[in-house]
Amino acid sequence: MKNIVFRGKNFFLPFRPILNNFNHRIAKENIKSFPQMAIFSFDHIGLLINLDGRYEHDALDLIKDYILTSGCIDPTSCALDIGANIGNHALFFAEYFKHVFAFEPNPIAHKLLEINAISRNITPLNYGLSNKNCKMAFRVNASNIGGSKILENNSDVSDGKVIDVDVRRLDDLIELADVNISLIKIDVEGHELSVLKGAKGIIERDDPIILFEQGIDEISEGSSAVIDFVRSHGYRLLAIENRFYIGEKFSLRLLSLLLKTVFGYQKILVDKAYFEKKHYEMIVAIKQ
């Protein structure tokens, strides 16, 4: 009988035993400190959860040290995870709050969110938040499910699958009428301002800490529409940044890389009066 020879075309095939051993070693360490989660294979966030134990682990660790365990929040209150995806942040917040309400309009991501919320103090809700109650177009990003987003004015429909999703105003939710909310995390890929406008009543009622992301295209002249909105409600703003961040020029980024290599990759919380034109993975707003 003729032998069948498998010829793998994958460049990494010769290194597979090494990579497999590394994956098992890191999994053995991560399971000691982090909750197991259902994830999407080959997805950006899923890959980083396997590698680091939790997506945005360093940033969330900083939030834990400076906010969640420093007496800034009431542990008997609730948190909102808006743009929860599969529940990475919701699971983290559930350790420090009485209850977490997790909002995710993407029906596929919501299925995993439901699984990850089982037997935990998390309520998964399969709709998005905005400044009106309606249906909106939503683009699904197959390679980065967390990068899926509501389309403003039905733009950007060419890249990825587009579906209709339900969105609601946070202020209109009856289930939150008598709930004390100490923290709101928003990661909705550019739809943050609409979410905040629909949550104006709750923000003014409870003065929650607000965590949100800002893209480079949203920053102009040291601020953004979202930053201006939050500041208008009396909030002080801080940004989570990489230590040794110097600037965006190539020479400065090279020097920054050298300093990080020597002294280590670290995150710091920085008071911000002026926002440089760059991406901010997490901005922290605290009522003054």
pTM: 0.88
pLDDT tens for residues 125-174?
999 999 999 999 989 888 788 888 888 765 555 566 898 999 999 999 99
CA distance to 139, 191, 225, per residue, from 152 (Å): 10, 8, 15
Give pLDDT, residue 189: 86
Give pLDDT, residue 149: 84
Q: pLDDT tier at 256 (50, 70, 90 boundaries)? A: low
pLDDT tens for residues 108-122?
999 999 999 999 999
Give pLDDT, residue 19: 84
Ordered by start, the domain boundaries in the chain are 57-235+275-287
pLDDT tens for residues 161-212?
898 999 999 999 999 999 999 999 999 988 999 999 999 999 999 999 999 9
When comparing pLDDT for 51 and 248, which is higher? 51
Query: What rounded mean pLDDT belongs to the chain?
Result: 89
Distance CA(244)–CA(260), nearest Å, equals 7
Give pLDDT, residue 190: 86
Distance CA(271)–CA(68), nearest Å, equals 18
Non-local CB neighbours of 138 within 8 Å, separated by 6+ positions: 105, 106, 128, 148, 149, 150, 151, 162, 163, 164, 165
What average pLDDT score do residues 248-273 get?
72
pLDDT tens for residues 49-67?
999 999 999 999 999 999 9
Task: Average the pLDDT over each of 51-55, 215-219, 247-251 and give the range with the smallest value.
Answer: 247-251
Overall fold of domain 57-235+275-287: Rossmann fold (3.40.50)
Task: Kindly report the number of other CB atoms within 10 A of residue 63's CB atom.
Answer: 26
